[in-house]
């Protein structure tokens, strides 16, 4: 439960993200339209949607990796919509990211100790203090002390993601953007990594913008959920409500897409989902939206 008096950490208001069109005189491609979200200190906002919905683009915009065409992104009261490279370096103390693939996000030629010490060195932290901090980080994410001298390829997928989480935690950030951080893991490892995220939040008070295509995952980890469809937020509210009694047809489709062990119930859910898909297709055709 989040304290209702907790200060707002991140606020996104009327955000529009457009990319240049491909080809001469091509119209810009609008990836996000009028996005409004906020995240309080110590809160997790789950951002859920299918591939192409715009959820990753929103995370990238917060990180300064996607262009802000209109609107504002505010972090701790400061407008970071068009922050410079120097300002982004300063922000990295408080704003970090965990990517989907833990292997490609880690330098395969660097030992884990050097990977974790790198952001500390960039911020001017000395070698002695860095060594102490690296040991603390390994303990925090449940990795053995001898991991310091090992390469990423020597770990399992779940262990590599723990290394990535430790790197994100190195500077004690206030907000971590988690971009599909468990989608490349098997179900058992997923559960362990999600529990790790929850424990870290309880211990440190860090906030998460947790991006996922899986409604079950965001239900497990989020305080609130925002649902994205075609670059817009179509529904948001408390996680327990949005993930169990959704109002928007698209969220209902996402819920029905989650399998259940009962074959009869699963058949009914599949039929209801197909009905919602067909209804949405008809609405898109009537509205002139490409399908």
- Find the CATH number of the domain harbouring 61: 3.40.50.300
Contact between 277 and 253 (Cβ < 8 Å): yes
DSSP lists the bridge partners of residue 45 as 209, 224
Domain boundaries, position 87:
1-94+182-243
Query: Does 142 lie in the same domain as 25?
Result: no
Where do we find the tokens 């993930």? Answer: 243
The answer to the question of residue 43 being in a domain is yes
One domain for residues 87 and 186? yes
For the cut 90, the answer to whether the pLDDT of residue 272 exceeds it is no
Domain contains 252: no
Measured over the CA atoms of residue 32, residue 174, residue 42 and residue 189, the dihedral's sign is positive
Given a contact cutoff of 8 angstroms between Cβ atoms, the answer to whether 214 and 183 are in contact is yes
Which among 265, 256, 222, 217 has a CA at the least distance from the CA of 241?
222
CA distance 87 to 95: 12
Residue 176 belongs to some domain of the structure: no
The reply to whether 270 falls in a domain is no
Residue range 241-258: average pLDDT?
Answer: 86
**Mean pLDDT of the region 149-161:** 92
Q: Are residues 66 and 206 in the same domain?
A: yes
Nearest to 254 by CA among 276, 224, 232: 276
Q: Which of 60-69, 240-249, 280-289 has the highest mean pLDDT?
A: 60-69
Residue 268 has pLDDT above 80, yes or no: no
Burial of 220-251, coded b for 16+ CB within 10 Å and e otherwise, reads bbbbbbbbbbbbbbbbbeebeebbeebeebbb
- Residue 107: CB partners within 8 Å, gap ≥ 6? 115, 152
Q: Which two tokens stand for residue 106?
A: 């880690």
Same domain, 6 and 110: no
| Neighbouring C-beta atoms of residue 287, cutoff 10 Å | 7
Q: How far is CA 191 from CA 108, 181, 184, 227, 287, in A?
A: 26, 12, 12, 22, 41
Last residue of a domain, one of 127, 147, 170: 170
Query: Which pair of structure tokens corresponds to residue 15?
Result: 């955000």
- 5 lies in the same domain as 69: yes
Give the mean pLDDT of 24-47.
Answer: 94
Distance CA 164, CA 116 (A): 9
Q: Rounded to an integer, what distance in angstroms lies between the CA atom of residue 9 and that of residue 282?
A: 40
**187: nearest Cα among 154, 157, 222:** 157
66: how many CB neighbours lie within 10 A of its CB?
A: 20
Q: Which of 170, 194, 211 corresponds to the end of one domain?
A: 170
Same domain, 189 and 225: yes
Percent over 90 (pLDDT), the chain: 68
The whole model's pTM is what? 0.87
Domain count, the chain: 2
Listed residue (166, 136, 133, 135) closest to 152, CA to CA: 166
Question: What is the pLDDT, as a whole number, of residue 103?
Answer: 79
| CA–CA gap between residue 14 and residue 33 (Å, rounded) | 8
At residue 21, the pLDDT reads: 85
pLDDT of residue 269: 57
What is the reported pLDDT for 184? 83
Q: Work out the end-to-end distance of the chain between its first and last CA atoms, rounded to an integer number of angstroms.
A: 40
If asked whether residues 44 and 127 sit together in one domain, one would say no
- What integer is the mean pLDDT of 248-265? 73
Same-domain check for residues 59 and 146? no
Residue 38 dihedral angles phi and psi, to the nearest 5°: -145, 155
Domain boundary among 139, 170, 201: 170
Q: Which pLDDT score, from 0 to 100, does residue 258 have?
A: 65
Alpha helices in 148-206 (DSSP H): 157-169, 187-204
């Amino acid at each position: 439960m989040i304290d209702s008096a907790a200060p707002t950490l991140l606020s996104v208001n009327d955000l529009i993200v457009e990319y240049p069109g491909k080809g001469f005189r091509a119209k810009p491609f609008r990836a996000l339209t009028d996005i409004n979200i906020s995240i309080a200190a110590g809160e997790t906002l789950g951002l859920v949607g299918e591939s192409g919905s715009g959820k990753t683009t929103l995370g990238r915009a917060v990180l300064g990796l996607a262009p802000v065409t209109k609107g504002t992104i505010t972090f701790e009261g400061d407008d970071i919509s068009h922050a410079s490279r120097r300002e982004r370096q300063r922000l990295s103390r408080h704003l970090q990211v965990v990517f989907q693939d833990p292997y490609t996000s880690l330098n395969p030629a660097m030992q884990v100790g050097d990977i974790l010490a790198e952001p500390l060195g960039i911020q001017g932290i000395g070698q002695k203090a860095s060594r102490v901090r690296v040991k603390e980080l390994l303990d925090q994410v449940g990795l053995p002390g001898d991991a310091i001298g090992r390469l990423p390829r020597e770990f399992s997928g779940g262990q590599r993601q723990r290394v990535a989480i430790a790197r994100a935690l190195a500077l004690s950030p206030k907000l971590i953007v988690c971009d599909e951080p468990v989608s490349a893991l098997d179900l058992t490892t997923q559960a362990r990594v999600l529990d790790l995220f929850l424990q870290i939040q309880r211990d440190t008070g860090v906030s998460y913008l947790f991006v996922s295509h899986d409604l079950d995952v965001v239900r497990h980890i989020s305080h609130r959920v925002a649902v994205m469809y075609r670059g817009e937020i179509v529904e948001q509210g408390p996680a327990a409500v949005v993930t169990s009694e959704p109002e928007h047809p698209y969220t209902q489709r996402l819920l029905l897409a989650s399998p259940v062990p009962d074959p009869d119930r699963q058949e009914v859910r599949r039929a209801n989902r197909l009905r919602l898909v067909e209804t949405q297709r008809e609405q898109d055709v009537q509205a002139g939206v490409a399908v």
